Structure 1
């Protein structure tokens, strides 16, 4: 009998093993990725494999590593953006999940480096960066006034929204909050875990701490239990918070009409925190740490969006006077001082 000298990787396609190792060994154990990252990557690969299977007229279980080319990746990204009506940001998140896998494979399968390199080279798509829609202080106050704090549900919603505005936390960071992460003694602060399991400390107003204390008095929780739960004691979900918030915003818009033109989500409170900190003169590097931004460019985006800060800067410059020769920029100390302050 003739011995089969064909390499094992050719007889048995390595893709299923590689994908299993990527999720269970690389993401979970070596990278210690959060459950949210793993689920996001999982959803991307579900969509990608179904897309490739349909194009190749195969079952998903029949897909081989050789089928996952840069051409297929580019086609999938176009499908995700145009056919599925996804945003450019969603498209780039899908690409990040796919790239991460091929970076992993390149280190495991040297013979696949050429294919991996081609996929990794698929560029992200740059799009317009809109100014974040943030809430003015009076709009925040109007929304916070809506929950009926005489009920447990209203007390919980008021405490949650107040916490979001105080801390600038992402919605899932807030929903993951446990009593043991809060320092109820002075100085009041909270420990949050952001993207990539990055830990940061945020100061809390005494008023916010008092609200959290009252919530715990009405609905006691163990130190390691989630703080914000539903009537059955189960952790709140982000979709439920969005639904409740929409009702509060609709009611608040009757008092503050400007809310009618805004799409308010839990993330809007994070935007409001950032812009209001900028307006208060807090240094952007402090705000970056406060919000857990990876890049300072993200924080600077809020500084550019803050119209109140721009208005104050314009007032410091002053309107041009009529007649006479305009002063030299080099001799105009007030303008130079203003530029130095930016």
Structure 2
């Protein structure tokens, strides 16, 4: 039902807004999340049938998935753009996003998992199920490499250099980086590929995608969100958990272990070191000691 609207929206973004392919895909992903939500609720609504109440339920749903407030705000921005298109094309008579409130953005530090908590979550995976080995490989890779959820679902077999201990990751803005990968993740990827993945009928075009769903196609980001939340609940962990929690924990554990912040920045694929500092909750004592050890003016005055 939504395919014609998505096609029209895509053309509008390119022709009217002159957006890049990457930005267009980001907007389309926002609408894809909305349609996934409608399918899960069993609602067969078209854009003109959706009302403010439905979109408010959608915003609560993406919050419950564990998405950051910044991610939630970005998705709602995508919805507003979609309804601007619908208004311009006279698809709708009223814009239901006008009164839709975005979450108030706060620069709060997300919850971090300890190594023991990560082990509990991974240990909660039912490896007797067909998707068990895949899910274990996903979590081992996410924690080992600090990947974004979009980087996990898009990870390609041709980008694995496991004998050398590296993977090539395509991050934001299609920028590539090489990231070291740990032995546990390498071993689990081998188990997954040698067992469950080999028995799938792979969809055309998905042959090089590492992590596949049971129908042989790429996984969605929502599937990763739901899988992690379910495992955290089974492991008895009460923190607010999302795929980003694994990425944040990866960076935090590195810094707490004494890793250079520039090296962490490189592995996370951040353009600015300032962004890396947000992901790593360095306490004041750690910063004070760093200054005392490395800054000549600080040493002279103290």
* TM-score between both structures, scaled by the size of structure 1: 0.57
- Preserved contact between residue 109 and residue 278 of structure 2 (Cα < 8 Å): yes
Q: Match for 1:181 among 155, 159, 165?
A: 159
Shift, 1:242, TM fit: 2.1
Q: Match for 1:242 among 222, 225, 231?
A: 225
Residues 117-128 of structure 1: pairs in structure 2 closer than 5 A: 127-128=105-106
Distance in 1 (alpha carbons) for counterparts of 2:230 and 2:209 = 24
- Preserved contact between residue 27 and residue 33 of structure 1 (Cα < 8 Å): no
Distance in 2 (alpha carbons) for counterparts of 1:293 and 1:300 = 10
Distance in 1 (alpha carbons) for counterparts of 2:108 and 2:263 = 23
- Preserved contact between residue 164 and residue 174 of structure 1 (Cα < 8 Å): yes
Shift, 1:135, TM fit: 0.9
Q: Given the superposition, is the C-alpha separation of residues 174 and 337 from structure 1 closer, same or farther in structure 2, using an over 3 Å criterion?
A: same
Q: Match for 2:120 among 142, 146, 163?
A: 142
Q: Given the superposition, is the C-alpha separation of residues 156 and 26 from structure 1 closer, same or farther in structure 2, using an over 3 Å criterion?
A: same
Q: Which has the larger radius of gyration?
A: 1
Q: Match for 2:209 among 226, 230, 235?
A: 226
Residues 170-201 of structure 1: per-residue CA shift (max 9 Å, x gap):
11210111211110222x11111112111111
- Preserved contact between residue 27 and residue 38 of structure 1 (Cα < 8 Å): no
RMSD of equivalent CA atoms:
4.2
Aligned length: 241
Q: Given the superposition, is the C-alpha separation of residues 236 and 92 from structure 1 closer, same or farther in structure 2, using an over 3 Å criterion?
A: closer
Distance in 2 (alpha carbons) for counterparts of 1:275 and 1:146 = 23
Partner residue of 1:300? Answer: 277
- Preserved contact between residue 140 and residue 184 of structure 2 (Cα < 8 Å): no
| Structure possessing the higher relative contact order (Cα contacts under 8 Å, 6 or more residues apart) | 2
Distance in 2 (alpha carbons) for counterparts of 1:195 and 1:289 = 13
2:253 corresponds to 1:276: yes
Residues 61-92 of structure 1: per-residue CA shift (max 9 Å, x gap):
xxxxxxxxxxxxxxxxxxx99xx789973446
Distance in 2 (alpha carbons) for counterparts of 1:280 and 1:212 = 26
Shift, 1:139, TM fit: 0.8
Partner residue of 2:96? Answer: none
* TM-score between both structures, scaled by the size of structure 2: 0.64
Distance in 1 (alpha carbons) for counterparts of 2:75 and 2:298 = 37
Partner residue of 2:26? Answer: 37
- Preserved contact between residue 278 and residue 302 of structure 1 (Cα < 8 Å): no
Q: SS at the partner of 1:233?
A: coil
Residues 117-167 of structure 1: per-residue CA shift (max 9 Å, x gap):
xxxxxxxx9843111211111111111112133443111111101111111
2:169 corresponds to 1:192: yes
